[in-house]
Amino acid sequence: MEKIKPHLTEIVIFLAVISLLSWGTYSRNKLWGDKIGFWIDCVKKSPHKGRPYVNLGLAYIESGQYDKALEATQKGIDLDPKFGGAYYNLSIIYQKMGDLNQAIAMAKKSLEIDPDLEMAYYSLGGIYFENGRYEESEEAYKKFLKIFPYFPEAHNLLAIVYAAQKKFDKAVTEFEWEIKVNPYHTLAHLNLGQIYWYEFKNRQKALVHLKTALMLDPLLPNRAEIRRLVHALEGLP
């Protein structure tokens, strides 16, 4: 039987692209325009306060205007250098702009100023992963999950980090955790099915998760190949 083994990281990228495309609707564009206009007005009324600039920067982030987001957020920091959330927003901006080292530095800075800004750990996990620094990504996600063990998607992302390091036993544990949090997480089921078969040769568990993934999502990546794998596994003694 020919192996069909999509890379786990490619599946994650597919999910991210779909998520970004889902934002590109007219109604959201209109909403972003309204939010930007609102915060521009706030900035005009309170030009010496940092928060309106930071909120304007966030609105620009949401609209994909990262140069303007950087300018507005930096202005907010100039006015209020101890605003931890502003540095967190900067980390997001730098990540979007492809400057991963600056993104990491700003996320760390946000935690130095505000240790309670736990979402920075979640962001750091993604930035480290994107930068190929898997052990640091692992530690960041683990710190976040220690505080928010039921946060949607976090266990799935940690599982991907483990899989990238070929720590498949730990990846299985985290994918199973994600399914406890969200039983309808298609890609967690898909990744589990592939790991159970290709790494552990557990046909029964592989079939359960692969079939569940096929049932949950008619737009599953490589759907035809996954169906062929399911049929092949069903034909084994």
**What's the pLDDT tens digit per position in 102-123?**
999 999 999 999 999 999 999 9
Are 213 and 190 a contacting pair, CB within 8 Å?
A: yes
Q: Where are the domains of the chain?
A: 1-117
For the cut 70, the answer to whether the pLDDT of residue 44 exceeds it is yes
pLDDT score, position 23? 39
How many CB atoms are located within 10 Å of the residue 50 CB?
A: 19
Rounded to whole angstroms, the Cα distance separating 167 from 182 reads: 22
Kindly state the helix (H) or strand (E) to which residue 85 belongs, with its residue range: helix 84-96
Amino acid of residue 13: I
- Residue identified by tokens 């309106």 is 52
Amino acid of residue 6: P
Architecture of the domain made up of 1-117: Alpha Horseshoe (1.25)
Rounded to whole angstroms, the Cα distance separating 29 from 23 reads: 8
Instruction: Map residue 162 onto helix, strand or coil.
Output: helix
Question: What's this model's pTM, rounded to 2 decimal places?
Answer: 0.84
Helical spans, DSSP H, in the chain: 8-21, 26-45, 50-63, 66-79, 84-96, 100-113, 119-130, 134-147, 154-164, 168-181, 186-198, 203-216, 223-234
How many CB atoms are located within 10 Å of the residue 94 CB?
A: 21
- For residue 12, name the pLDDT band (cuts at 50, 70, 90): very low
- For residue 221, name the pLDDT band (cuts at 50, 70, 90): confident
Rounded to whole angstroms, the Cα distance separating 167 from 175 reads: 12
pLDDT digits (tens, 9 = 90+) for 73-83: 999 999 999 99
